[in-house]
């Protein structure tokens, strides 16, 4: 009978939940939440236009050189970095919930893509974008975004720093004009660098270093200048913000001048860039590399399970950025995931590599005073112009300029500020940070973050299996009472530990000392823990007077369903001392 | 400076711990704990001998038929079941801490061994015993036995029932005298049964069913009889306890009589049994199957990672038995693991299959009134006699008798008593039980227990990431206070959830309502949670008067190392209402 009631209750609850859920899905409020453009576009004001355009131009001027640089990191032809900002830029305007954010290729996502491109073909990067998009969208729709909360700050910090180091190390090849490959992870890149350092050219590192110095000077030039300052300061502000474009243009001019004067190309240039907009069509579900045809299954096998790290990193990046730039600190993580998921899915139809929110360009967007997601439209127009008219100009971009650009960006990405705090406050978390960093550097980023997350989850499970118990001997007028306070929830994995602790505590007492198990802080028990508790009671009941104090109704019900003979042991009182009356009467 | 102090403190702590640990290892107390025989042997009394011998004989009379039956379950020649109880019996006498326990092959361990024998050779079973022993010993020595606490009762129950069903189903082949193989997991065994049922013989199921009926009758016969009763009752008691041996002997006599009378062997018999004691020597680190030679690496690859399930199950079985039969409920799980580990390791030098504590035979030992582990010596002597003189007699044991024996044992192993309690009290745990059972039955026992444990750990992690918060609006004379009680520890994975909850709670209040975050129940915070907390404070501080009440010293220190500007926000009071004074002054 009880089972039937519980069953029908469950059923009713389920029906009500389903109804509420369906109602929620179909409401106008949900539509507005899921299509933010219908919220902001009708409210668009004329004065926003100028600000959105200015912001779009500054962002675009960074998106072009960064996009090409990140495509190069991923081992892709440079135009793929532009394709990646193109479709996604439009999609984000429609679905994005945070107007500051600009999406596109990022350094970490690109470096995670590398291993699917080098030795294979760009088609793999596009399929990875499609699959990542599907996973991100799914996680968003199923409300599973909380999964990224299982990646703690020490792990993220270790991962990000290692990624920056790896990306910088992978650029040593271009920076010094070396031969050979650049390596899939930090240790390999460094090894390859020392292995090939004898093939270094002089001109490349000179241009690379000049690029870095120029970037630092241009950054300094803009300090203290605002968009709203006088015309001189405004120009300084704009040039400083567009410094990524400026250094690339300078490199380009140098290479072109040498070509004109000497009719030679001593610098390693980016070379031919695919001209025009990408061809739209289905993502490549099969492909040909060399003479070998890869079916969908074979492509999936090549990509492998560890590729699942990529969408999670994409979610972390975009959610972290949204948090940093949301006006009131409140963000709709689900909507962000839906937007980034769709950007990747639809982007992959336009030959986009995997993308996510970009921290640099979002910050730039914010500083430039963007007002609505419409700023992204200007950026996309600029990219269209670049792809249509500028590809032959881009031919002259020196690779060492891009390398200098990337290395500079990477050094500003590194952040070791939490490390000393970790060391001082929690050696365990410091070790976790170290393990993540070391595995990232020496085995690869995917393994590092996976091992970091697993190690932290195991530590957490261990902590849960060792809840704190407070044992106290209360001296009352009518005799002592041993009180065992269960201060935290007891889970199945803590059941045995609690038994041992309770047994040890009681073994030091005389048999006529009553024992009170205080369950005030016990929110819930699972079946294993409850069974164990009842077996403790059964054992102690032989030798002691025992009381279960202030256990909540659910826990009591569960305990009694396991062993109903101890109903009289459950009692309620505001303090264990109130129970002395009972003990003195009974014993 | 602070880092240096922490460092030297850590070092000192480490040195002291190491010293204490070394001292512990070398003490006489530890020696006695680790070699229990030097504790009980000097105290051995003459009157124990008779009781130990009687118990040894009853256990031996069960160990012989059960051993052969379990060897058959594992796909091994029957003598391996006897080898398995031989060496391990002696080793347990020396190292065992619980005098009731008898070790040897068990139904579940045997069925887990099957897949390394069928299609390969007995050598694989012996290597698995050796490797399992090493792992169990390691886990014992490193105090990692707590790992089995992560296997909850619903998972163990689902696993055990599924194992019983699988073992019973695997006996259908012998019970009905079918052709074909018996299958590696329940679903396969049932499928094979229906596939081959047309090859059934009449005589086999008749003898099998008679065996089952006989076992039930013999069990009934012993009810109400004790070892200390009069001679008639004593005989009834002894026959009832030895019923496993009795039914096998009856089956043997029937087969032998048919042979004498008709000179034919219509029943499927166990056949030739290896005569004499096993040859002692190194466990097989390489082997030959058919024409193929397996190196150690190839053997390891064949065995695979999932074999790691076996030692864990062995630990669960032996620890569970120790708990059930320990006199005062207190057991030394570490010593049990060391003993069972050594039994497997040293046993594998005597061609033993994997073994652990046996529930049936331990119960028998207990009922028979065993006094010390010396009872095991009699059992071993009986096994030596069996192996030396009786192997030609064992030739006539009908396989269907053994099948009936096993099926009967399996039905008494099944226990569904917790299922209704699970259903009534915790649908989640009921589902967990179901998933474990279904995966065990349809994919295999190893996968079932692994998926059960993983699913439960994930559920636990989810619960930890959703700690309970209690929000209350306190009405004080001088104005309201919003109190957010952090009732449980907040881990990194709960940081974001807590932020959202706190933000939601405060968004409904007016800006002049002070907010108190009550951290009384917060035992510890990790870096991620603390950072998040400080960012909440930073956000709320802009609009509200905020107080951090009763945070402990460690948590406060961590928080201030992240953001030192909020030192003045930490306060201590026995109730939030005491703070109204401060608020009214400041606001």
What angle do helix axes B243-262 and B231-241 make, rounded to 10 degrees?
A: 80
Question: Which pLDDT value is given to residue B2?
Answer: 43
**For residue B95, pLDDT beyond 50:** yes
Helix (H, G, I), strand (E, B) or coil at B161: helix
* Shortest CA distance from A500: residue in chain B: B330
* Shortest CA distance from A494: residue in chain B: B149
Pairing between strand B356-357 and B103-104? antiparallel
| B355 closest CA partner among B101, B1, B9 | B101
Render pLDDT for A392-415 as a digit per residue (tens, 0 to 9). Answer: 888 888 889 888 988 888 888 888
Q: Does A509 touch chain B (CB under 8 A)?
A: no
What angle do helix axes A203-221 and A243-262 make, rounded to 10 degrees?
A: 140
**For residue B582, pLDDT beyond 80:** no
Token duo for residue A428:
């365990």
Question: Which pLDDT value is given to residue A11?
Answer: 56
Residue A344: pLDDT band (50, 70, 90) is very high
Q: Does A511 touch chain B (CB under 8 A)?
A: no
Residue A174: pLDDT band (50, 70, 90) is confident
Q: Does B520 touch chain A (CB under 8 A)?
A: no
- Its ipTM equals 0.79
**For residue B5, pLDDT beyond 60:** no
- Closest Cα in chain B, distance from residue A21 (Å): 21
d(CA A492, CA A489): 10
Question: Which pLDDT value is given to residue A132?
Answer: 93
Is B352 within 8 Å of B84 (Cβ atoms)? yes
Render pLDDT for A291-335 as a digit per residue (tens, 0 to 9). Answer: 888 888 888 888 888 788 899 889 888 887 787 777 665 678 888
Determine the residue among B492, B533, B541 to mutate to test chain A binding: the one whose Cβ has the most chain A Cβ atoms within 10 Å: B492
Helix (H, G, I), strand (E, B) or coil at A355: coil
What angle do helix axes A296-303 and A122-141 make, rounded to 10 degrees?
A: 80
What angle do helix axes A399-413 and A243-262 make, rounded to 10 degrees?
A: 160
Render pLDDT for A361-395 as a digit per residue (tens, 0 to 9). Answer: 887 787 777 888 888 888 888 888 888 888 888 88
Pairing between strand B515-518 and B479-486? parallel
d(CA B501, CA B470): 10
Q: How far is CA A388 from the centre of its chain?
A: 34
Query: Quick one: what percent of chain B has pLDDT higher than 90?
Result: 16
* Cross-strand partners of B515: B482, B546
Determine the residue among A13, A152, A452 to mutate to test chain B binding: the one whose Cβ has the most chain B Cβ atoms within 10 Å: A152
| B376 closest CA partner among B331, B343, B348, B327 | B343
| B491 closest CA partner among B520, B533, B455 | B533
| B361 closest CA partner among B12, B92, B23 | B92
More confident residue, B492 or B119: B492
* Shortest CA distance from B536: residue in chain A: A329
> Which residues in chain B have Cβ-Cβ distances shorter than 8 Å to A6?
423-424
Contact B526 A468 (CB under 8 A): no
Q: What are the angstrom distances between the C-alpha of A407 and each of A66, A236, B338, B473?
A: 12, 24, 55, 53
Which residues, other chains included, contact A57 with Cβ-Cβ below 8 Å and sequence gap of 6+?
A378, A379, A382
> Which residues in chain A have Cβ-Cβ distances shorter than 8 Å to B149?
465, 492-497
Question: Which pLDDT value is given to residue B9?
Answer: 56
Q: Does B136 touch chain A (CB under 8 A)?
A: no
> Which residues in chain A have Cβ-Cβ distances shorter than 8 Å to B468?
523
d(CA A320, CA A328): 14
Beta strand spans in A410-476 (E): 469-476
Q: How large is the average pLDDT for residues A568-584?
A: 77
Question: Which pLDDT value is given to residue A583?
Answer: 64
Element holding B515 (H helix, E strand):
strand B515-518
Q: How large is the average pLDDT for residues B104-117?
A: 88
Number of A/B CB contacts below 8 angstroms equals 141
* Shortest CA distance from B501: residue in chain A: A330
Token duo for residue B238:
């002894």
Q: What are the angstrom distances between the C-alpha of B441 and each of B191, B263, B406, B411, B446?
A: 12, 42, 18, 16, 10
CA angle, residues A134, A136, A137, in degrees to nearest 5: 65
**For residue B586, pLDDT beyond 60:** no
Q: Does A10 touch chain B (CB under 8 A)?
A: yes
> Which residues in chain B have Cβ-Cβ distances shorter than 8 Å to A493?
149-150, 152, 460
Question: Which pLDDT value is given to residue A61?
Answer: 77
What angle do helix axes B445-464 and B153-170 make, rounded to 10 degrees?
A: 170
Interface of A with B in 523-562 (CB under 8 A): 523, 526-528, 531, 535, 539, 554, 557-558, 561-562
- Closest Cα in chain A, distance from residue B319 (Å): 12
Residue B4: pLDDT band (50, 70, 90) is very low
d(CA B578, CA B514): 13
Q: Does A13 touch chain B (CB under 8 A)?
A: no
Q: Does A1 touch chain B (CB under 8 A)?
A: no
Interface of A with B in 159-178 (CB under 8 A): none
Residue A253: pLDDT band (50, 70, 90) is very high
Render pLDDT for B217-264 as a digit per residue (tens, 0 to 9). Answer: 998 988 887 777 788 888 888 888 888 888 888 998 999 999 888 888
- What's the CA dihedral at B229, B234, B240, B241 to 10 degrees? 90
Contact B149 A460 (CB under 8 A): no
Q: What are the angstrom distances between the C-alpha of A552 and each of A13, A59, A343, A559?
A: 22, 58, 49, 11
From A152, A425, A558, residue closest to B558, measured CB to CB: A425
- What's the CA dihedral at B261, B265, B269, B271 to 10 degrees? 100
Question: Which pLDDT value is given to residue B577?
Answer: 74
**For residue B23, pLDDT beyond 80:** no
Contact B149 A521 (CB under 8 A): no
Contact B153 A531 (CB under 8 A): yes
**For residue B25, pLDDT beyond 70:** no
Q: Does B489 touch chain A (CB under 8 A)?
A: yes
Token duo for residue B471:
């929000």
More confident residue, B24 or A101: A101
Q: Report the mean per-residue pLDDT for chain B.
A: 84
Query: Quick one: what percent of chain A has pLDDT higher than 70?
Result: 94
Q: How large is the average pLDDT for residues B277-284?
A: 87
Q: How far is CA A575 from the centre of its chain?
A: 47
d(CA A249, CA A62): 12
From A152, A330, A487, residue closest to B526, measured CB to CB: A152
Residue B587: pLDDT band (50, 70, 90) is very low
User: Which stretch of A375-379, A440-444, A485-489, A578-582 has the lowest confidence by average pLDDT?
Assistant: A578-582
Provide the greatest CA pair distance for chain B.
Answer: 109
- Closest Cα in chain B, distance from residue A14 (Å): 13
Provide the greatest CA pair distance for chain A.
Answer: 109
More confident residue, B513 or B92: B92
Helix (H, G, I), strand (E, B) or coil at B398: strand
d(CA A362, CA A380): 15
* Shortest CA distance from A525: residue in chain B: B426
* Shortest CA distance from B153: residue in chain A: A528
Residue keyed to tokens 């005030």:
A520
Determine the residue among B336, B460, B495 to mutate to test chain A binding: the one whose Cβ has the most chain A Cβ atoms within 10 Å: B460
Q: What are the angstrom distances between the C-alpha of B60 and each of A36, B64, B200, B244, B353?
A: 77, 6, 33, 11, 18
d(CA B317, CA B315): 5
* Cross-strand partners of A515: A482, A546
């Amino acid at each position: 009978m009880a089972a039937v009631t519980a069953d029908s209750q469950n059923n009713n609850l389920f029906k009500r939940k389903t109804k509420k859920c369906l109602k929620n899905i179909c409401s106008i409020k949900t539509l507005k939440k899921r299509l933010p453009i219908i919220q902001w576009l009708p409210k668009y004001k004329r004065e926003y236009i100028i600000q959105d355009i200015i912001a779009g131009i500054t962002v675009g001027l960074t998106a072009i050189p960064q996009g090409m640089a990140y495509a190069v990191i991923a081992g892709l032809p440079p135009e793929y970095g532009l394709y990646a900002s193109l479709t996604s830029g439009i999609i984000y305007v429609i679905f994005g919930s945070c107007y500051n954010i600009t999406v596109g290729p990022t350094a970490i996502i690109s470096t995670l893509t590398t291993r699917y491109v080098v030795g294979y073909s760009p088609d793999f990067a596009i399929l990875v974008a499609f699959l990542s998009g599907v996973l991100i969208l799914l996680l968003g729709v199923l409300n599973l975004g909380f999964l990224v909360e299982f990646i703690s700050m020490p792990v993220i910090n270790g991962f990000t720093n290692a990624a920056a180091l790896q990306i910088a190390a992978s650029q040593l090849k271009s920076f010094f004009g070396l031969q050979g490959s650049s390596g899939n992870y930090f240790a390999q890149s460094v090894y390859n660098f020392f292995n090939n350092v004898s093939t270094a050219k002089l001109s490349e590192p000179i241009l690379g270093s000049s690029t870095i110095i120029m970037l630092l000077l241009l950054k300094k030039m803009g300090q203290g200048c605002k968009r709203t300052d006088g015309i001189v300061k405004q120009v300084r502000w704009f040039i400083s913000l567009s410094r990524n474009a400026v250094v690339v243009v300078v490199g380009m001019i140098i290479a072109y001048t040498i070509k004109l004067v000497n009719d030679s190309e001593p610098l390693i240039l980016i070379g031919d860039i695919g001209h025009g907009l990408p061809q739209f069509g289905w993502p490549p579900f099969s492909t040909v590399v060399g003479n070998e045809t890869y079916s969908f299954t074979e492509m999936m096998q090549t990509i492998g399970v560890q590729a699942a790290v990529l969408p999670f990193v994409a979610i972390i990046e975009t959610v972290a950025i949204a948090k940093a730039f949301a006006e009131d600190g409140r963000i709709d993580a689900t909507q962000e995931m839906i937007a980034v998921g769709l950007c990747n899915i639809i982007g992959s139809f336009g030959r986009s590599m995997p993308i996510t929110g970009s921290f640099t360009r979002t910050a730039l967007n914010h500083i430039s005073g963007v007002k609505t997601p419409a700023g992204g439209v200007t950026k996309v127009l600029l990219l269209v112009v670049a792809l249509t008219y500028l590809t032959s100009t881009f031919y002259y971009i020196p690779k060492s300029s891009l390398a200098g650009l990337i290395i500079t960006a990477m050094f500003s990405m590194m952040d070791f500020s939490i490390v000393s705090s970790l060391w001082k406050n929690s050696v365990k978390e410091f070790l976790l940070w170290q393990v993540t960093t070391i595995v990232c550097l020496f085995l690869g980023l995917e393994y590092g973050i996976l091992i970091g997350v697993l190690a932290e989850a195991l530590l957490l499970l261990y902590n849960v299996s060792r809840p704190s118990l407070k044992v106290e001997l209360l001296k009352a007028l009518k005799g002592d009472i041993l009180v065992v306070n269960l201060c935290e929830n007891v889970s199945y994995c803590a059941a045995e530990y609690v038994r041992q602790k309770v047994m040890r505590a009681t073994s030091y007492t005389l048999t006529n000392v009553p024992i009170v198990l205080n369950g005030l802080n016990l929110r819930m028990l699972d079946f294993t823990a409850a069974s164990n508790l009842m077996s403790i009671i059964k054992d102690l009941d032989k030798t002691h007077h025992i009381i279960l104090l202030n256990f909540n109704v659910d826990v009591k019900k569960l305990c009694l369903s396991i062993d109903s003979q101890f109903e009289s042991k459950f009692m309620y009182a505001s303090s264990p001392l109130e129970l002395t009356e009972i003990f003195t009467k009974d014993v």
